[in-house]
Structure formats: structure tokens, C-alpha cells
């Protein structure tokens, strides 16, 4: 978004890239997401057309560059990403992150962790609460289970929106059900509508510190084809924008947008969608940051 | 779908490919549909996320390979396809077929024919009830007229859903109207909604044996671009899934999904959509097959 | 659409191409729009599937070729385009134009001008009422401001439908608001629906002579990706068709469809959408032309 | 090439399209070749940069449109194509044809036939002298065998240049060897060079009437990817141009360029290559036609 | 190339982008060239594999950003580009420029001009010495004629290498021949080889100050498809690299690489080729700059 | 290649896929190489057109499926790949492997190891003898250094052909030079020609057991664009085929073809090239296997 480069201590919201997809079990490419999202963000502008305010007028926003990662060493990357976000947290900034695959949310949450587990509002076609895939516990299908186990998130204050797609085993949802995670499938979202579902989501998240994770594959692949695990029957971008705008009032302490995979996105539409959704997230985060500051 | 290979006598539902597009008058490529749908089906999984049951647990399903076709001889192909499906019928299995262009539905119906004409629930942007195109009676715009004339289908129990697009002559619909085929245009579908339209469709099909034909071009080309005769203004994949799920309770004796054209589908989205829709069809067919068995 | 070539004096509706994109500030390519729209129109047919009438039966329609342009001389092109449309006006025909970028609407309006300012019904993601971009007053973001200033359009009878997307400055809308242009943003369109919004649009346009300008980017980029300034969160093609059909009864004296950019449209879907939307426009224009004649 | 439309009797060289690919056993699409080659020919110009003469100054050249074909009826198409070329022959023009798949060369030769068999200079990766494929004798792998059997070509005066690629059976070459057809494989062409090989080709063709058939797949797929049966290890376009220029002096009575398949050619490079090679063919044909006239 | 940003006075060689294609008569897109070449240059590295030296060790190199341009105002852009390069010249640096279309070479030469006309070594498929196209004297087909007329280049010390492609009129070469510009067509280049042709080129350029202009379309479109006016039958990238390395010893005072058009380059291969060729140019320029300094 | 599936003990040559790219530092996707190469191999045939013999007639060849890998665990994958190839070695078969990135050659060599170090003939744009990248010793830039250190290869009998491209540090070649690895850069290959270079390569490899590793990026990206680290200025596929045929007489005990990356290969040309090159390798391996057996 043609932003200045700055350090966390000088700003309220830090835009960060995490170019890592070493947690992807099938079609990779999300490591190139931050670069393309930055490229496409050259098409975005300052002022939201609905509220007619600009996040850049509300708070201090800057691009803090990419978190350090090692594309061929997953353990090292998990550690270095966490360290990077710890520094952001300690600097007093709130991160808005462009992934990378969904595994990156785990080290982000670790880095941002401070005492109590957070609430989570999670937009995704998939639950990402598997225990293991291919016998490994750390991949892009497991981050939210690990985060619950590690006390980073409070499952009772977690809501997942837009879920769909065939699964390998009917038991896949058992963990979430037992833990109290609220799963809102696409059928329920379409039937009840954005406003009603998001009212419930805000209630679940409560007034506490909340993390927002937006997997681009919650959006239908007609609108966002460039992602590793597309599921047909998703939401439109119009609905996606409405969902994010309904986050107004939530105490957001961090957000990410993940799984944009440029090699699978020859037209650039997915990166443009990612950049625009990040602008929407930025707008609600700026309001939250402003509230915190005052 | 990574299925075992089997013969019709050992199974309840036979997945079949018919790699033939010799009935296509304009943009070909549907002959490569079965291969790409099989490729993309590697992304699909076993259990439907709504019903939480797996068709593979209800009945015996296997891939019976491709029907024999001759890409440069239409007459021979019509005969060899019909023979292949006759063997499936005689083996006691119900076929779920990946085309191929829409002409293949004619030899499939011939092969499956047994005494009385069937009901038809037909999802398509086009009626495919032309009499002739380019002076030939057998092409992908005519199969349902031929099927009515040959007594394979009962026009009074036929319903076509999702029709749209400019036509060459206002008289194009005369045959269907005279024969009693119910045509539900896209405008009516959008106005009344999936549930109401499908309730009518089930009533038209009645309790008798019903064939289901799903032309991928009923879906809007934004969601399924890889097809030979795209028409804008179509349904979403979410609506497509809802339509197929409303087939629950219908006595399905065969189904096909046709007109996926991989050369026109560089992203693979259409083949993925085709594979997912076949999984949806498989789920309702498995329930029908289970009812029949019991 | 495989039409005969003719001169304006012999016909009622003139199809025209304006292969000029010298007003484009970012991603060009709309200069190739007319050719690709013509190519794709080979897939369209004569009779509308809803009304079951053909515009070619109501009035005389012909392709009048491309307006003369100089790709490397903007001033000259503005003059030569205006001259071309003056001849159409003087010949007594009504033009349906394929752009080109949106700047071309200005010389079209100049050429068609005859005494009083016209009404405008304008479908677009953008207002195109900037004063200057890059310090120049004539580019694809300014035509409607210039047209108001030049007395070609009456701002009180102008309505813009489908607006959305972040803007550079909250003051961007000041001119339109002060002048009395009615702006209907996408949120209002989605909330109120096509029928209600278009009833208001028809009321604003009134019974006077009305020009219709359709920027392809009002449609969501999932449905029409091949355009220079895509904005996510747009309308579907089904909605676009419904919007245009609601122009029935308006006294249309000219229409255009602009910003189809073939280099950004490898699949051809946008050109197909453009060609189909032009057919929809042609149908309502033919009815208007017939009314005028009688 | 932006040519006038004319009838054969008024001209010396007739440009013709044959949009038929019903002889293709695997990847179709060549039916769209003529349209795209025409599109791309808008980039070509009048004067050859080496000889600095224009074929349009030497002889009368015009576009005679497309031969009539029925995309779903091979027998009918073979007959109607032959009839079309018979009319060209009787009108006194020499055809330069854009295919279509290679089967079309057979009806072209039938239509042009007049008494004695012709010589053939044939550029191709494949011999196309199979007896049968899939049990059918008329497809794009058999035209030259049929043409020899029917007395249209004299095998002793036939030369095939650029052959390569694995074959299904070592006996595939037996017919050509027995009949006396000279096969020049790519290895020999690369070792001896264009000039030497073409000197031999001219000697084989002799002074009699000669047909030239250019299959785009003789060119390496890096240069011409859009074709149904690509074979790596081919010639460059620079070599292709040199080969055709070495036809100077041959008494050409017809030529074709076949197997350009636009659906497999998203960049348009193959159609551009086809259009440019047709211009090269036109230049040597124009000289031949001029010699004949004088 | 991940370079520091600097001002001309601090450095020896200035990398510059000129994102302007307002001189393009047909297919635009070169305005996006600098961005994509910068993107692809992230794949390049520091040390040339033949000489094993790095230009960054020889001289001071930095990225000076983009010259200011107005995409919708050609006159203004010609002036602002010239001004930008004047500042580079006055700062004492030598520019290596990424275009943009070929018209930009004219204002670059104007900006760099200092007293006497320069020599030119020009790699291109086209002469770009037209007088007018579409009646305008300033477009991407005319820069070298204008530069000669304005005394920026000495035609007797100009050589053009790699020319090819049909032309509109045999008189197109008259100006160059009369002025004494040496034209080396592709046929001569291929026959004589790179070393011999470049020896002649160095002799023509002489020991005086020489500008080097490299149009990407001198390379065959199989290797560099993303350009507005592709001509088949060009050189390989291996030959292109050899040509540039043979510039060793020439007193280069500026160079450009133009006509990379990203919208026509979906694979990014052309931008990669452009970035690599700029590295080759940089290596010979660094040696020249080092010689000057010492 | 439509081969039977078999176990190593029953066959002479085992075709194997290794779908792993966890050693890729930049653009991934080679994990999908085996599937696409198998897909494209459906276009290949049985008999080589030069020798007119078929490898399938000389020895027993079968597809042994894919080696087990874990896409998100590099250590585990290195071990499981090595184990898989150990079984092939113990079964008495010679493997021809489709990668995967180049790191997979290391576990393949480990699995095949038996006592003494092997010779290596290595076709590649890169040396892949780095010590570390990103601080890790096991990635696709280091396998041959590790293999020398582990005693799997004898550096004095190693030759690398086709090297090119800028490097990060002039010291990159020090290890190879010190160890005695013969590096043949592209410039030397082009100057001396395939026959002479391969004569030297055969001499270096000697009469001992030799492994052949073919990185698809040795071929120019115009011919094989779908690879992670393309370098312009490479060899043609014609040259690549000639290089491999010159392996005749070498005692090959294993070969691989790596770095085909389908997500970067939308046209499928690279996978087709990979499949064809594997057929060429298979032909020379079959001769070697036959010699061994007799």
C-alpha cells in the first residue's frame, strides 16, 4: 500500500509478511503471497468508500517488512516467526499479517501471547483443527488445535465461519465439538445471513482481546482461485467484505490473511482480493487501535 | 477419487468416463473431461460435511474405467457407449458418468433402457432439444429430443432447470412445450429459490425411475469457465450443490455430469467443480441405491 | 454478431467500436475491446430467451465499423471520435458502442449532442467524476465531470449504480453531491435489490432522452476479470442482466459498454460478457427505437 | 491479412480456411485455426524484408472465405471440402489453405486433382502415412497414404522433412519405404542444413506440379506450442522460414498450413507463427503463379 | 536487483525505470515493464559466471527509481523524461534504463545529449526509423529518425542488428540507406555469426561515446513472448547474451532495454530475460565506467 | 507410459516418482512433477525413431509407483526415499526417477550405494555443490557436495554439463575445482558441440558404474519454462536429446530427471519435455541393462 517502513515502537499497526509455506501438505506457493499482495496493493487507495474515513488518519500504520523464515527448515522458521511477532508485541504495535500458509498463525499467536488465552474469529473453508496429517503435528491443517492445547486461544471463545467441503472422517469435528469451538458451516451462514452470524460471532468473542484469522479459501474459488486447497460453494467477495466490516467493535489484537498462492493465481485476482480484504481488516483494526489508545 | 477398479456385477454404483466429444458443434475438448475430473478428484474426500455420512459406507462404489469410443467415428462410438452401459445395467449397477459432451447421454440412456421410459431431471443452460444442427440429428444439442422420440424418456416427467441464453429462433421451444417438458428458466429459479423449484421437480419426476443429467454449463462461467458453450448469468456452485442435495428421495437409476472441457479450463477449477458435483451426486445416488437394495 | 455493414442513414441502431484507450492511467488494453467483443459475439444468437423477440425483427441494426482513432494522439482522437458520432446522429441512427476506455464516452456525447443536456444512467464501480488525474483533465476518470461542465448531461438527471472501492480522498464525492448526481453504492443496490433501484433510476432519468453507459467493471471481477481497474465485491452477471432489462421504457438515445481489456482476459470470459450485455442493451434500445419510430 | 473478398475466377491465389478437425484422434482445436490465423495476420505487412517485393504486387490475391464443413459429420465434410477446392481449381486460382487438422489435405488434393498425380513437399514431425488409427482409415494420421492410394500424389516425387518422435511400431515406416517416399528425419536436416536438404527436395519434386503441405508441428513446440501432437526437438521458426524460401522455383499448385490449435495456444504465438509462415508461402507461390501466367 | 536507492551524484551507473508506453501504436503494456523487471531481478545474482567479476565490485551502482511520466500526456512525458536524464548526466552517472516502449529512447538521448552526436549500437527486430505512423512523428516506430534529425546520433556511426519481418512499403529503408545507417538483418547475423558481426559493429561505433539500445523483440518470441510487436525468426537468448558480451571495450555512455510488456507475459519469462540482459549490459557498462574513471 | 506396475525383483528398470520438493529454497512445485510427467507420457510411444528399437523389447520395464515422502518433514522424507531405493537396488533393478527437486538425488544415491563411489554425468544449469543455503546443508543446491562428502560419488569421475547463470560469489566454484569435478559451462558446450563434449564426459565417467542426473533447467526456459530456477541462454531440446543419446555405452546404474514444476508449467510443455527425455534416458539405460545381463 505504498507505506513507509518503520519499527513497531513507532506505530500502532504493523503490516507484516510471512513468506513461509512449509506447512502445506499439497499445493504450495503461499510463500510468495506477501510479495504479490504488496504488488496488488498498489491498486488500493486510502479512504474506505462506506465510512469515508482512512485508517491512516486514525492511527500510525507502517510496513514492517517480512518475518525471517527458512524455506527448508520448518522448526527454525516457527521459532524465528514467533520471535519477530514477540518484538512487535513488545513494541506496542498490533500486527496485520499476510501469509504464508495457515501454519504461520501458530507462531504468530505464540509471539503475541501475553498471559491469557485470546478469543478467535476465524474465517475459513476448513477447521484446521486436525491432530496430525502425514504423522506430523505442525502443518497448515493443525494450527488451531495446537493453539488451544498451548493455551494461546480459549476454545469457548472461538468461532469458525464458512466451513465446508467433504472430510476424510466423520470424527474430524469431534475435537472442536468437545472443546466448545463454535463451527458455523456455509449452509448456516447463507441461511441466516452475514449480520446475524456476525452478531453471534461478536458475542462469542466477547469483550476480550481477539485475534482474527482470515483464510482466503473461505471465499469461493471463482473469486479467489489462487489458493492451495480450494473448496467450491463459498462466499462472494461482497459477503467477505460485509463479514469483516461486522468486526467493528471487536477488540482486535492481531489479524492475518493467509493462503494466497500466487503461482496458482495467474490473473492476480486472488492477490488483489487479499490486498483489498487486508484494507478492510485494517479499517476495523484502526478503529480498535484508536479505541485502545484513547 | 482413488477408487478400486471393479466390474459392474460386484458393485452398486459404477463411476464411468465417456471421453467423447464428437457431437460438439463449436468448441471441443470435453473428450478430456474424464481424465481431468479423475485428476481433480484426488482433492476430494470421503465424508459429506452436511450429512456426515460417506457414500462409500452405504454402498459398493467402484471406478469401471472409460467406455470405449472412437474419436473419429461418431456412429461407432454411439454404439460402443450404449453397449458398455448395457453391461452395467445387466450387471446390476447404477452408473455415475463423467462426459464427454452432452450427446453421450443418448447412448447412455439407450444402454440403460429397460422397458418403460424414464423420468428426467436435467440441469443445463440449454434445452438440448433441437431437431437438427448443421443438418445432423445426432449432436450435443439434440440428445433429449432423440431420447423422447426413441421412448427412452417420458416428456411429461421431464424437467429442465437453469435454462437461459439467447436462441436462434423463437420456435426453438415449441417441441418441448408441445411434448409437455417442463422448462424452468434461470429467472424463475432465482425468483422462487432452490427448495421450491426442486420440490416441483421431484413431483414431476414422481416415484418412478429417474435419470439425472447435469451439464456443467448450468453453473455460471465465473465458477465453471471450462466448457464449450458458456452462458453468463448462471447459478453459483453453492446453488448447484443445493440443487443436487434436493434430489434426496428421488429413485435415481443413473446420472451424468457432462461438458467439462479441460483445454478451456487452464486453472482446473471446472474439473474440480465437476469432481465435487459428482461427489454430491454420488451421495444422493448412494442413498437411492441403498433404499433399492433394502 | 455477424451483422451486415451499413451507413447510419439506412438503419435505426448502429453498432460501433471505439478502439481507443489513451485515457487509461494504469492498465491499458481496452483498445482491443471492440475486436474481441466482435469475436465473442459469434457465440450469441438472435432471440432473447425471456421476451422471445429479436431486436433484429423490431428495427434495422447494422455494424458501422470502428470510429477513427489515433492511438498515440489523444486530442486528435477525441475530435475524430466526436465527428464519427455526429455523422451517426445526423444519419438518424442510435449508437450502441463498444469501447475503449471510459474517456471515449465524452466524445461520443459530444458527437450526439443536440441542444439540451441528456439524462444518464451509468453502471460502474467508479464515479468517473474526478477533476484531474496526473494533472490532466481528459482521462478515463473524468468524462462525466467534463460532460456536465460542457452541458452534455444534466446532473440532476444522472444516476450512477454499483459504485464501490476505496478512494484517494473523502472529497472525491463532493462534486457529484453538489451537482445533484445520484450515487447508488453497491451496498444500497444489494440491500434494496435491482427492481427497486432501477425504478428510482428510471424516475431520475425521466421521460427525456437518456444515454446509458455501462462500464464492465461494475460486474465483479470473478465474472469479468479482463478490465483495467477491477474492484472486488461487485454484482453478478445475472444481476447485470436484470439491471439492463429494467431499462425497458427509457428513451435511450445511445449506449456504450466500455473497459473490456482483452490482454487482461485470457479466457475470453469478459469479452463474452461484454458481447452478451451488448445484446441485452440492444434489446431495450430496439424497443426504444421502435417506439420513437411509431 | 486484411484482404478483399473475391471469387476464384478473378484471382491468382485464393486464401482459404478449412475449419475442420474431425480427423483428430487426440487433442482437437484446429477447427478454430483459420479464425485465429486471420486475427493474427492483422500484425503482418505487405512487403517481404528480404526480397523487398510484395506478393500483392505480383499477382491477384484474395480471401475466399472458409470451405463449408460440418463439425459433426466427417463424410459430409470430406465431400464439401473437396467440392469447394474443385471450384477454386476450375476458377483458375491456386489455393493457400489454413487448416484444420491434417486430414483436410486429402479432400483439398481431391478437389485440386486434374489428371496426373502431383509431387509433394511435406514439412511435418509425423509421416501421416498410417493405414488405420482406431480402425478408421480417414483421420489426421493417414491422409498421405490415402492420397497415394487414390493416385493424387506420386510417391516417387514425395519428400517429408523434419520427421521425429517415438513411434508405436518399427513397421510404421514400411509403407513409405516401399512406396519410395523420401523421409528426411530431423537429425539429417540438422546435420546437412536447410540449403542442402531443400536442394534435394526440389530435385525430388522435379519440374512438375507440386503441392506443399506444412504441418505447424514440424516447428518445435517452444516456438509453436498450440498444436495437438507436439514433438520436442524440432526446428526453429528461423529454420522454418529458410525452408519455405528455398521453395523458390518450384511449380506450386497449392499449399496448406495445418494443425494450428488456438485452444492450446493461449499466447497466440502459434497463430502468429502460422500467419507469418503463410505469408512466406504466399511469397513463393506468388512467384510461381507469376511464372505460370507469363 | 535489490540495490540501494541513491542519487546520480553518488554513483557511476544509475538503474532507471521509464514506465511509459504512450508511443505504442498497437499492443501496449510496456509501461509495466520496470516493475516486473525489478520483480524478476530478485532471481539474479552478483557475479557473472564467465568473467567471475561483479559489476558491483567495479563501480558504484544504484537504483534511481522511475522517471516521472504522465500516462495520458505524451508531450509532458517526453519533457519530464528528458529532464530526469539530464539530471543523471549532470550528476555524472551513466544510466541503464528499463522501458517503456521504444519512444522513450528519444527523451533519454535528449537528456543525455552533450555537444556532439553519439554512436549507436541498436539491437532490434525493427528499424524504428519511420517518419510517421498514423500521422504522428513521435511514437515507438520513429525515435531513431528523430534522434538523427535532432543531431543526437550520428547516422554514420549507427548500426542496427537483428532486423527482420515484413514491412508495409519497400521504401521504408530508404531513409536509413541514405543516411548511412548500417542495417544488419537477421539473415546476415545468422550467416556470419555473432563475433564477426559485433566486430563490425564495434568498428562502426568507433572509439567515441556510444549509446546502446536493446529492444527485447530482437529476441525470438519463443524466448521473449511478452512484447507488443513480436516477430518470429529471431535470435536465442544465448545469442543475445553473446551479442552484449561483445560490447566489451565500447565506450558506453548509456543503455536501455525496452518493450518488455508484462500483460503479454503471463509466465514472467520475458521479464526474467529482460532482467538477465540488463545484468549483462551492466557488466559491460561497469567495465566502461571503470575505464573512464581511471 | 501406460506401463504395468511391478516390484523391483521382477524387472530390469524401475520407473519411480519422488514427489518431494522440500529442498526448494524459492519457487516450489516440483512435488507435482511425477504426476504430470506420467500424464504427459500418455503422448509417448514405444519405439525410438532413430534406432527403431524399443526399450520394452530389450529389457523388463515397469512403473514402481512413488517413493514414500512426507511433504512437511524433510528428515523423514530423506530417510524414506533412501529406503525405497535400497529396496530397488536389492531387488536388482535400475531406477529411472522423476523428481521432485534436486535434493532427492541425495537419498536416491544413498539408497543405491554399494561399496564404491560412482561416476556422475550431470546435466544442469547449476552446480548444486553449495555448502549451505539459508544455513541448512540439505536443500536442492547442495546434493552433490553432500554426495561427495559421503563417499557416494567420486569427484574425479564427475562431470557437469550446461552450467550457466550469475552466481552470488566467485568462490562458489572453489569446492568443485579443488575436488576435481569437471565443470563444462554452456559457452564451452556451444563452442565444442555435443559430440565432442560427450566424448570427454564418457571418458571422465570411465567404465565404472555411473549415475546420470538430468535437471530440466539445463534446457532453456523457452523449451522448458516450468521449473523453479530458470536460467536463460540454455540448450534446445534437440541438443538435450543429442546429449542423452551420447550416453550410449556408459554403464548406467541409475538416472533421474528432476525439477519439473507443473504449477509453473500451465501449457504442459515442460512435463512433455520431461516425459520425452525420460524415454530417451530409458533407451540408453535399456541398452546398458541388456549389456549387464548378458
Q: Which of these, E13, E197, E233, E21, lies nearest to E121 by C-alpha position? A: E197
pLDDT of residue F23: 95
The SS3 assignment for A216 reads: helix
pLDDT digits (tens, 9 = 90+) for D251-264: 999 999 999 999 99
C267 touches chain E (CB under 8 A): no
pLDDT at residue B10 in the model: 86
Contact F272 D164 (CB under 8 A): no
Task: With CB atoms and an 8 Å threshold, state whether D272 touches E168.
Answer: no
**How many whole angstroms separate alpha carbon A58 and alpha carbon A287?**
7
pLDDT > 90 fraction of chain B, expressed in percent and rounded: 87
pLDDT in tens, C268-285: 999 999 999 999 999 999
Question: Given D229, D233, D266, which is nearest F237 (Cβ)?
Answer: D233
Looking at residues B67-75, what average pLDDT do you find? 95
Of A162, A128, A120, residue with least CA distance to A145: A128
pLDDT of residue D206 exceeding 70: yes
- Indicate if the pLDDT at residue D6 is higher than 60: yes
Buried b (16+ CB within 10 A) or exposed e, C83-103: ebbbbbbeeebbbbbbbbbbb
Q: What is the mean pLDDT of residues B12-18?
A: 96
Put simply, whether B116 touches A (Cβ < 8 Å) is no
- The number of residues making up chain B comes to 294
Chain E CB within 8 Å of residue A39 CB: yes
Chains that touch B (3 or more CB pairs under 8 A): A, C, D, F
**Helices vs strands, H then E, count in chain F:** 10, 8
State the burial class of residue F60 (Cβ atoms within 10 Å of its Cβ: 0-12, 13-18, 19+). middle
Q: Which residues of C28-41 are buried (b: 16+ CB within 10 A; e: fewer)?
A: bbbbbbbbbbbbbb
The answer to whether residue E5 scores a pLDDT higher than 90 is no
Q: What is the pLDDT of residue A10?
A: 86
- Kindly tell me the burial class for residue D126, based on how many C-beta atoms sit within 10 Å of its own C-beta (0-12, 13-18, 19 or more): buried
SS3 of residue A274 by DSSP: helix
C139 vs E: CB within 8 A = yes
- Spatial distance between the Cα atoms of E187 and D50, rounded to a whole number of angstroms: 9
- Position C4 scores a pLDDT of 65
**E125, E232, E238: best mutation site toward chain D, by most D Cβ within 10 Å?**
E232
Interface membership of B39 toward F (CB under 8 Å): yes
What CA–CA distance (Å, rounded) separates D106 from E226? 37
- The number of C-beta contacts closer than 8 angstroms across C and E is 66
**Which of B119, B190, B116 shows the shortest CA–CA distance to B157?**
B119
Q: Tens digit of pLDDT for each residue in C190-206?
A: 999 999 999 999 999 99
Mean pLDDT of E282-291: 95
pLDDT tens digits for B277-287? 999 999 999 99
B47 contacts A170? CB cut-off 8 A: yes
Q: Does F195 touch chain D (CB under 8 A)?
A: no
Residues ≥6 apart with Cβ < 8 Å to A133: A25, A139, A141, A142, F72
* N-terminal to C-terminal alpha carbon distance within chain D: 26
pLDDT digits (tens, 9 = 90+) for E126-165: 999 999 988 899 999 999 999 999 999 999 999 999 999 9
Whether the predicted pLDDT of F38 surpasses 90: no
- On the question of pLDDT at C3 being above 90, the answer is no
**What's the confidence (pLDDT) of residue D143?**
98
Regions of chain A short of the pLDDT cut 70? 1-4, 42-44
Distance CA(E256)–CA(E99), nearest Å, equals 7
Residue of B28, B138, B142 to mutate for D, most D C-beta atoms under 10 A: B28
**Of C165-169, D142-146, E193-197, where does mean pLDDT reach its minimum?**
C165-169
pLDDT digits (tens, 9 = 90+) for A136-152: 999 999 999 999 999 99
Select from C159, C71, C81, C160 the least CA-distant residue to C113: C81
Q: In angstroms, how far is CA C22 from the centroid of its own chain?
A: 17
State the ipTM, two decimals.
Answer: 0.95
pTM above 0.80, yes or no: yes
Residues of F in contact with E279 (CB under 8 A): 166
Residues from chain F contacting residue E43 (CB–CB below 8 Å): 26, 229-230
Say what angle helices C74-91 and C105-112 make with each other, to 10 degrees: 40
C-alpha cell at A279: 484494507
In the structure, what pLDDT confidence band is assigned to residue E260 with cuts at 50, 70 and 90? Answer: very high
> Residue range D39-60: average pLDDT?
86
What's the confidence (pLDDT) of residue A293? 81
Give CATH for domain D8-293.
Answer: 3.40.800.10
- Cβ <8 Å between B167 and C46: yes
Interface of A with F in 64-83 (CB under 8 A): 70-74, 76
Check residue A2 and give its pLDDT.
57
pLDDT confidence tier of residue F74, bands split at 50, 70 and 90? very high
Kindly report the three-state secondary structure assignment for every residue of chain E: CCCCECCHHHCCEEEEEECCCCCCCCCCCHHHHHHHHHHHHHHCCCECCCCCCCHHHHCCEEEEEECCCCCCCHHHHHHHHHHHHHHHHHHCCEEEEEECCHHHHHHHHHHHCCCCCEEEEEECCCCCCCCCECCECCCCCCHHHHHHHCCCEEEEEEEEEEECCCECCHHHHHHHHHHCCEEEEHHHHHHHCHHHHHHHHHHHHCCCCEEEEEEHHHECCCCCCCCCCCCCCCECHHHHHHHHHCCCCCCEEEEEEECCCHHHCCCCHHHHHHHHHHHHHHHHHHHHHHHHHC
CA distance C227 to C215: 9
In angstroms, how far is the first alpha carbon of chain F from the final one? 26
Q: For residue B19, how far is the Cα from the chain centroid?
A: 14
Residues 228-247 of D with CB under 8 A from F: 229-234
Closest by Cβ to F136, choosing from A21, A26, A73: A73
In this prediction, residues C136-160 reach a mean pLDDT of 97
Out of C35, C39, C266, closest to residue D266 by CB: C266
**Are B45 and A230 an interchain contact pair (Cβ–Cβ within 8 Å)?**
no
In angstroms, rounded to a whole number, what is the distance separating the alpha carbons of residues D198 and D202? 6
Distance CA B193, CA F150 (A): 68
Nearest Cα residue in chain C from A243 = C233
Q: Tell me what the mean pLDDT of segment C245-258 comes to.
A: 98
Distance CA D36, CA D262 (A): 7
Distance from CA of D24 to the nearest CA of B (A): 7
Within 8 A of F70 by CB-CB distance, chain A residues are 134-136
Q: How many CA atoms lie within 13 Å of C269's alpha carbon, on the beta-carbon side?
A: 29
pLDDT of residue F292: 87
Kindly state whether A48 is in contact with chain C, defined as any CB-CB distance less than 8 angstroms.
yes
Whether D228 shows a pLDDT value over 90: the answer reads yes
Stretch F19-38: mean pLDDT: 93
- What local confidence, expressed as pLDDT, does residue E40 receive? 84
State the virtual CA torsion across F129, F135, F139, F141 in degrees, nearest 10.
-30
Q: Shortest CA distance to C106 belongs to which of C87, C135, C76, C81?
A: C81
Question: Vertex D214, ends D209 and D217: CA angle to 5°?
Answer: 160
Mean pLDDT value of segment D204-227 = 98
CA angle B39, B42, B46 (to 5 degrees): 140
Grid cell locating F244: 542423452
Element (H, E) at C34: helix C33-40
What pLDDT is recorded for position C42? 65
Please report all neighbours of F, defined by 3+ CB atom pairs within 8 A: A, B, D, E
Decide: D164 and D172 in contact? Cβ < 8 Å.
no
Report the distance separating Cα D145 and Cα D123, nearest Å: 16
Q: Which residues contact E251 (CB under 8 A, 6 or more apart)?
A: E207, E208, E209, E210, E288, E291, E292
Question: Are D232 and D8 contacting, i.e. CB atoms less than 8 angstroms apart?
Answer: no
CB within 8 A of F109, min separation 6: which ones?
A: F118, F143, F147, F152, F153, F211, F254
Nearest CA in chain A to B276: A232
For chain E, say whether A35 makes contact (Cβ under 8 Å).
yes
Residue D68: alpha-carbon gap to chain centroid = 19
For chain D, list the contacting chains (3+ Cβ pairs, <8 Å).
Answer: B, C, E, F
Q: How many CB pairs under 8 A join D and F?
A: 69
pLDDT at residue F43, as a whole number: 55
Determine the residue among C61, C230, C238, C276 to mutate to test chain B binding: the one whose Cβ has the most chain B Cβ atoms within 10 Å. Answer: C238
CA distance E22 to chain C (A): 6
pLDDT at residue C134 in the model:
85
Q: Quick one: pLDDT at residue E213? A: 98
pLDDT value at residue D259: 98
* pLDDT above 90 for F209: yes
pLDDT of residue A239: 98
**C-alpha to C-alpha distances, E81 to B186, D212, E70, E136, F178, nearest whole angstrom:** 55, 52, 10, 19, 51
Answer positive or negative: Cα dihedral of C263, A229, C237, B105.
Answer: positive
CB-CB neighbors (< 8 A) of D265 in chain C: none
Q: Does pLDDT of E4 surpass 80?
A: no
Q: What pLDDT was estimated at residue B8? A: 81
H/E stretch holding A18 reads: strand A13-18
Alpha helices in F180-257 (DSSP H): 186-192, 194-205, 237-245
Whether residue D222 lies within 8 A of chain F, CB to CB, comes out as yes
- Nearest chain F residue to B266 by CA distance is F266
Rounded to a whole number, what is the distance in Å from the CA of B279 to chain C's nearest CA? 24
| Structure confidence at residue E1 (pLDDT) | 58
DSSP state of A234: -
User: Considering only residues 175 to 194 of chain E, which have any Cβ-Cβ distance to chain A shorter than 8 Å?
Assistant: none
pLDDT digits (tens, 9 = 90+) for E173-195: 999 999 999 999 999 999 999 99
**Segment B207-217, tens digit of pLDDT:** 999 999 999 99
Strand partners of residue C212: C121, C255
Report residue B42's pLDDT band, with 50, 70 and 90 as the boundaries: low
Taking CA atoms, what residue in D is nearest to F271?
D232
Question: What number is the average pLDDT over the span E81-97?
Answer: 96
- Whether the bond into E115 is cis, omega within 30 of 0: no
Selecting from C166, C190, C221 the residue whose C-beta is nearest the C-beta of A44 gives: C166
Q: Which of A207, A224, A229 is nearest to A267 (CA)?
A: A224
Using the predicted structure, report yes or no on whether residue C2 has a pLDDT greater than 60. no
* Res B225: pLDDT: 97
Chains B, D: CB contacts within 8 A come to 64
The whole-number average pLDDT for the span C23-40 is: 91
Interface with C, mutate which of A42, A49, A244 (most C CBs under 10 A): A49
- Put simply, whether F115 touches A (Cβ < 8 Å) is no
Amino acid at each position: 500500500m505504498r507505506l513507509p517502513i518503520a519499527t513497531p515502537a513507532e506505530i500502532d499497526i504493523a503490516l507484516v509478511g510471512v513468506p513461509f509455506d512449509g506447512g502445506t501438505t499439497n499445493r504450495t506457493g503461499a510463500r510468495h503471497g506477501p510479495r504479490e499482495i504488496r504488488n496488488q496493493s498498489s491498486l488500493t487507495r486510502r479512504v474506505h468508500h462506506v465510512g469515508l474515513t482512512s485508517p491512516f488518519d486514525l492511527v500510525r500504520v507502517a510496513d514492517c517488512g517480512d518475518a525471517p523464515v527458512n524455506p527448508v527448515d520448518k522448526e527454525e522458521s516457527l521459532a524465528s516467526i514467533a520471535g519477530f511477532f514477540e518484538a512487535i508485541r513488545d513494541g506496542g504495535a498490533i500486527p496485520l499479517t499476510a501469509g504464508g500458509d495457515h501454519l504461520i498463525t501458530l507462531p504468530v499467536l505464540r509471539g503475541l501471547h501475553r498471559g491469557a488465552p485470546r478469543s478467535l474469529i476465524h474465517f475459513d473453508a476448513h477447521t484446521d483443527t486436525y491432530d496430525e496429517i502425514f504423522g506430523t503435528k505442525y502443518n497448515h491443517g493443525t494450527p488451531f488445535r495446537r493453539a488451544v492445547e498451548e493455551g494461546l486461544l480459549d476454545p469457548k471463545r472461538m468461532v469458525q465461519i464458512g466451513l465446508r467441503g467433504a472430510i476424510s472422517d466423520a470424527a474430524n469435528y469431534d475435537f472442536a465439538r468437545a472443546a466448545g469451538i463454535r463451527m458455523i458451516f456455509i449452509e448456516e451462514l447463507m441461511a441466516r445471513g452475514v449480520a446475524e452470524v456476525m452478531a453471534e460471532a461478536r458475542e462469542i468473542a466477547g469483550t476480550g482481546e481477539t485475534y482474527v484469522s482470515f483464510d482466503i479459501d473461505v471465499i469461493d474459488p471463482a473469486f479467489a482461485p489462487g489458493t492451495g486447497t480450494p473448496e467450491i460453494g463459498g462466499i462472494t467477495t461482497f459477503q467477505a467484505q460485509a463479514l469483516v466490516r461486522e468486526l467493528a467493535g471487536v477488540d482486535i489484537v492481531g489479524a492475518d490473511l493467509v493462503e494466497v498462492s500466487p503461482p496458482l493465481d495467474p490473473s492476480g485476482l486472488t492477490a488483489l482480493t487479499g490486498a483489498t480484504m487486508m484494507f478492510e481488516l485494517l479499517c476495523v483494526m484502526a478503529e480498535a487501535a484508536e479505541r485502545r489508545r484513547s
